[in-house]
Chains A and B, each alone.
Chain A
Amino acid sequence: MRAASVVLGANAEERRVETRRRAQKCVRQVTLSFLASALWGFGPASVPPTPSPAYPSPIEIAVSANGSRLYVVCEGTDEVVEVDAAAGAVARRVRVGQHPKSVALSANGRQLYVANSWSDTVSVIDAASLKVVRELATGYEPNAAVADAEGRFLYVANRSGNDISVIDLERGVETKRLLAGRGAAYLELSADGRRVYCTHIYPLAGAFRSPNESEVTVIDTRRQVVVERERLENAAGIFHVASANGGRVAIAAEMRPKNLIPLAHVEHGWVIGNSLAVFGADIGEVVQVPIDELDRYYTPPFGLAVTPGNLQLFVSTTGSDSVTAIDLPKLLAYIRAATPEQRRLMANDLSASANYVSARIPVGRAPKGLALSPDGKRLYVANRTDDTISVIDTAAHRVTRTIGLGRAAAPTPERRGEGLFFSARFAFQGHFSCANCHIEGTIDGLAWDLEPDGFGVDIVENRLLEDIADTAPFKWNGSNPDLETECGPRTEKYFYRAQSYSPAELADIVSFVKSIPLRPNRYRRKDGELTAQQERGKAIFERGRSKNGAPIDDTNQCLGCHSGPHYTSQQLADVGTGKPTDRSPLVDVPQLTNVVLDAPYLHDGSARTLEEIWTVFNPHDRHGVTNDLSKDELNDLIEYLKTL
């Protein structure tokens, strides 16, 4: 149990019970969950959890300069596995920090840098001895690290921090923090060593219901400053970025979610476009090109690798269990031949990929990171959910070998469900998977128009899936009493538009969703105590009287709804945030665990920040009494909420 619930103390359960009793505004108890569970044949979670076996879950690969060794980051076992490339067998293993997300070799090939996303560190590994020789402190949730060509500075993309740490490798200290976009994720040193590119898995914060925009942050490695921000219009969910043509071309793997229109258009290809953003001196302005086909989707584009000589580009498509091979000269020629207007519209032309896609190569399940042998003849693919490395002959475009990384004997329901979560095979024409929107089990930072009920009706903000097992009901209006309904018939009807999971598969995927853990909270002190400011905020959160001494109605106190270990009464409430386009003003009381990571806020994502929940959307004190607070008191409250 998290520290936050410990703070509530032994009275937490009493408080929850009392809160439920008192919450007159909350219109009904959630009993449907039990009914539905009975109908579906699933009982309420009553079996105590047992420790799950660890699965390697390889996600990224680096190849030694001579090609003899592969270094595979295994997120599930917190280790780097060294593979003998010739033998196709695991040679050594080394433990790193929690939830490692990336691996990069230094230019001289002597060091490996591994970003540990839960530890807020980078492990520096001596490649010869495969030992961790140093831990470097980073920002919040480091997702990738890359060193410059001289080995002087290390750049680290901090996903929750939305920034980039610049670390002096000689001194081992961070010298500055550069502003990135939201969800800074993947880094690439340009082929000429002059720039570092940083992508982002979430879009930039924009006005409510405005087109998405993301960016590739461009850093000048000579001065260690951001010099450009390449704007990616209508894009959100940007993964790896690659450099080609001596640094004159950059390519980013991206999604183009069509979240402003109803999801009724799955069959028309209007949900998520899977694309590449191409830019650089040889291209000019950013051009976005699709990798999908008219009746088949390859999603989401994640890892990238460019062969020596810039002849081929490989793209892993995680949900499609495949790697797409692209004739890079043909792609660049196709872009160059296009008029400016054609370039602008290219991303929506599903016939375009026939001009440059040369092969679709089936690999293992949930392919993530890619790496090429130095001669470019072999492509290594990290298959996340079957714990293998696929070795592809880059000329023949076929898998020639599969290397196992060692795994638990039989997959648990959670592990089977994880595989389903990443798979797009259930959606119409393989359009998308759960993980397209719940990126790595989190969010996509978007608000969606999900149901075929008209444009702009019932807009719903995408919530975190961490630690939600005991937070029923689900959906913004609480109409899904349990995850079986949420992930089963709802997904089948509104998302996949195709026959979805079997009952056994549904049970597995629900098991997985319930097992998604809560990421560490960076705003609470390591000793679990609150700062003075956070304590003041806690007092406001728990207060029963306004500043003039008047009692606050039980149902309008923060704890009236946000109680219990997840800070939700699991009921419905009308807090005055409903919109005319909502079918009902009643919304499911959301859990507040890691709420700091869940922007935008409110059921429809109309509040861009925690502050706006009260400064903009609570004019009549219906969402708690907050209008008597001074600005610094509201600030205290928010600093407390960040610790939950």
Chain B
Amino acid sequence: MFAAGAAAGSPEMPQFRWENFTTENGLPDNHVFQIKVDGSQVWAATENGLALYRDGHWKVYGTQDGLAHRAVLSVDVDPRTGDVWAATMGGLSRFSAGRFDNYTQLNSGLPNDVVYGVAVQGDSVWVATAAGGARLDVKTGQWRHFNERNTPMYEIWTYGVSAGAEKVYYAVWGGGVLEYDVETGRWKDYNDPDGETEIVLLKDQGLIHEVTTSVSWAEKDHVLWVATYFGASRYDGRYWKNFMDKDSGLPSNFLNQVKAVDGNRAWFATDKGLAYYDGTNWSVYRPALDTKAPEMTVRDAQGKITRIEVTTAPSHNYILAVDFQGGDLWVATAHGVSHGIRLKQKETTK
């Protein structure tokens, strides 16, 4: 049944049985921009509504239910209340026990209706919009804007946000990374170290490129992961380490998202498959770019690539996002949602 197994001599990397969901089995749209695990259920941000996977079925919420806009770009869940925050092309929606409350640039302090990212941290809801970042204090209802006037942000097109108790990071598309220190309220920016070329010239000199798409803050280890359209970066507060397809196991330099497991491990959503880095080795999961057959490859520390025999793969190689459900993965792709069911060791080696 699970005809996969680690090839002799290759590192043991996680393996999955992939179950894929498209419009044929309940998704409102196959273009899925974000995915968020919420305990035993999963939220999918799609181009045509917000979808909830629960008890084996998808339930769809659209504008007719009160959603601010049909195109949902990001979603996060407040773990304390269960409220869902959906970033859309037409404002920010709060979904709470069946009720949608919408924040738009006309009816609230939301800076812009094009909301690319949302992250909930305590009583703060952080949003990344086409006109800068902002924070909503859900207790007071007060908005604070963060843009070129009060931060080192010289490009206001914020694309992603990752919020922790100590730090908040923005991926600014074309403007690198912005760091907010929660205790001091100070901002700091990370950009191309030479300040001219947008891309780092010397390996590991700094942030790999200023066209950032995603940030993921591993707060416990105080490590920041950054995804760009030109590779990935890891920053531990002192040293940068950069990853490109030519010198790592990344299948592509075009990254839509990075999702940290911790300070050493991360998953990467690329246009050529889903990649995992365990601190030493890499693995990639996708339909083969040529044959479309399920494919898994492992790259060890010496750069040796081993093909692992698998029978399933994510539904598309264009990956937009990933989230974790215990050992399982949920993946947003350009053709539906994929559920990676983690295979136990004995299953992978029989």
Chain A residues close to B by CB (< 8 Å):
139, 161, 163, 175-179, 215, 217-218, 225-229, 522-523, 533, 608-609, 611-612, 615-616, 631-632, 635, 638-639
Least distance between A243 CB and chain B CB atoms (Å): 19
For A639, give the chain B residue with the smallest CB separation.
Answer: B142
Which of B96, B145, B149 is A226 in contact with, Cβ under 8 Å?
Answer: B96
Cβ of A227 and Cβ of B97 under 8 Å apart? yes
Q: A161-B139, A175-B80, A179-B81 are in contact. Are A228 and B97 (CB under 8 A)?
A: yes
CA distance A353 to B97 in the complex (A): 33
CA distance A608 to B102 in the complex (A): 12
CA distance A631 to B134 in the complex (A): 11
Other CB < 8 Å A-B pairs besides A177-B123, A217-B97, A615-B106, 9 of them? A228-B98, A609-B107, A611-B106, A611-B107, A611-B108, A631-B109, A632-B132, A632-B147, A635-B109
Taken residue by residue from 79 to 120, chain B's Cβ proximity to chain A (1 for < 8 Å, 0 otherwise) reads as 011110000000000101111010001111101100000000
Residues of chain B within 8 A (CB-CB) of A631 are 105, 109, 111-112, 131, 145
Least distance between B91 CB and chain A CB atoms (Å): 12
For A522, give the chain B residue with the smallest CB separation.
Answer: B140
Q: How many interface residues does chain B have, given as a range? A: 20 to 34
Which of A178, A609, A632 is B81 in contact with, Cβ under 8 Å?
Answer: A178
Cβ of B111 and Cβ of A179 under 8 Å apart? no
Which of B99, B105, B106, B108 is A229 in contact with, Cβ under 8 Å?
Answer: B99
Which of A177, A226, A632 is B138 in contact with, Cβ under 8 Å?
Answer: A177
Least distance between A275 CB and chain B CB atoms (Å): 22
Cβ of A632 and Cβ of B145 under 8 Å apart? yes
Least distance between A76 CB and chain B CB atoms (Å): 29
CA distance A608 to B111 in the complex (A): 18
For A158, give the chain B residue with the smallest CB separation.
Answer: B139
CA distance A533 to B134 in the complex (A): 14
Residues of chain A within 8 A (CB-CB) of B81 are 176-179, 225-226
| B144 at interface by CB-CB < 8 Å | yes
For A616, give the chain B residue with the smallest CB separation.
Answer: B106
Cβ of A635 and Cβ of B107 under 8 Å apart? no
Q: A179-B83, A523-B140 are in contact. Are A226 and B97 (CB under 8 A)?
A: yes
Taken residue by residue from 53 to 80, chain B's Cβ proximity to chain A (1 for < 8 Å, 0 otherwise) reads as 0000000000000000000000000001
Residues of chain B within 8 A (CB-CB) of A632 are 111, 132, 145, 147, 149
| B240 at interface by CB-CB < 8 Å | no
Least distance between A641 CB and chain B CB atoms (Å): 12
Task: Name which of A218, A632, A638 has the most chain B CB atoms within 10 A of its CB.
Answer: A632
Residues of chain A within 8 A (CB-CB) of B187 are none
Residues of chain A within 8 A (CB-CB) of B108 are 609, 611
CA distance A441 to B154 in the complex (A): 49
| B180 at interface by CB-CB < 8 Å | no
Cβ of B147 and Cβ of A229 under 8 Å apart? no
CA distance A638 to B106 in the complex (A): 13
CA distance A215 to B97 in the complex (A): 12
CA distance A178 to B80 in the complex (A): 9
CA distance A523 to B81 in the complex (A): 24
| B143 at interface by CB-CB < 8 Å | yes
Residues of chain B within 8 A (CB-CB) of A533 are 144
Can you sample 14 A-B contacts with CB below 8 Å?
A176-B80, A179-B94, A217-B97, A226-B97, A227-B97, A523-B142, A533-B144, A609-B108, A611-B106, A631-B111, A632-B149, A635-B109, A635-B145, A638-B109
For B142, give the chain A residue with the smallest CB separation.
Answer: A639
Least distance between B146 CB and chain A CB atoms (Å): 9
For A609, give the chain B residue with the smallest CB separation.
Answer: B107
For B145, give the chain A residue with the smallest CB separation.
Answer: A632
CA distance A47 to B340 in the complex (A): 78
Residues of chain B within 8 A (CB-CB) of A139 are 139
Q: What 8 A-B pairs come out closest when comparing CB atoms?
A: A632-B145, A226-B97, A176-B80, A615-B106, A635-B109, A179-B96, A225-B82, A609-B107
Least distance between B296 CB and chain A CB atoms (Å): 39
CA distance A294 to B20 in the complex (A): 61
Least distance between A173 CB and chain B CB atoms (Å): 13
Task: Name which of A139, A175, A611, A638 has the most chain B CB atoms within 10 A of its CB.
Answer: A611
Residues of chain B within 8 A (CB-CB) of A615 are 105-107
For A614, give the chain B residue with the smallest CB separation.
Answer: B106
CA distance A179 to B84 in the complex (A): 12
Residues of chain B within 8 A (CB-CB) of A609 are 107-108
CA distance A226 to B83 in the complex (A): 9
Residues of chain B within 8 A (CB-CB) of A175 are 80
For A532, give the chain B residue with the smallest CB separation.
Answer: B150
Residues of chain B within 8 A (CB-CB) of A161 are 139
CA distance A215 to B80 in the complex (A): 22
Residues of chain B within 8 A (CB-CB) of A611 are 106-109
CA distance A221 to B136 in the complex (A): 27
Residues of chain A within 8 A (CB-CB) of B105 are 615, 631
CA distance A581 to B133 in the complex (A): 41
CA distance A226 to B108 in the complex (A): 24
CA distance A626 to B138 in the complex (A): 26
Residues of chain B within 8 A (CB-CB) of A523 are 140, 142
CA distance A631 to B133 in the complex (A): 12
Residues of chain A within 8 A (CB-CB) of B145 are 631-632, 635
CA distance A226 to B99 in the complex (A): 11
Least distance between B126 CB and chain A CB atoms (Å): 16
CA distance A176 to B79 in the complex (A): 10
CA distance A227 to B142 in the complex (A): 26
Residues of chain B within 8 A (CB-CB) of A616 are 106
CA distance A40 to B137 in the complex (A): 50
Residues of chain A within 8 A (CB-CB) of B107 are 608-609, 611-612, 615
Cβ of B97 and Cβ of A229 under 8 Å apart? yes
Residues of chain B within 8 A (CB-CB) of A522 are 140
CA distance A523 to B82 in the complex (A): 27
CA distance A609 to B140 in the complex (A): 15
CA distance A615 to B147 in the complex (A): 20
Residues of chain B within 8 A (CB-CB) of A215 are 99
Q: Which positions 303-328 of chain B face chain A at CB distance < 8 Å?
A: none
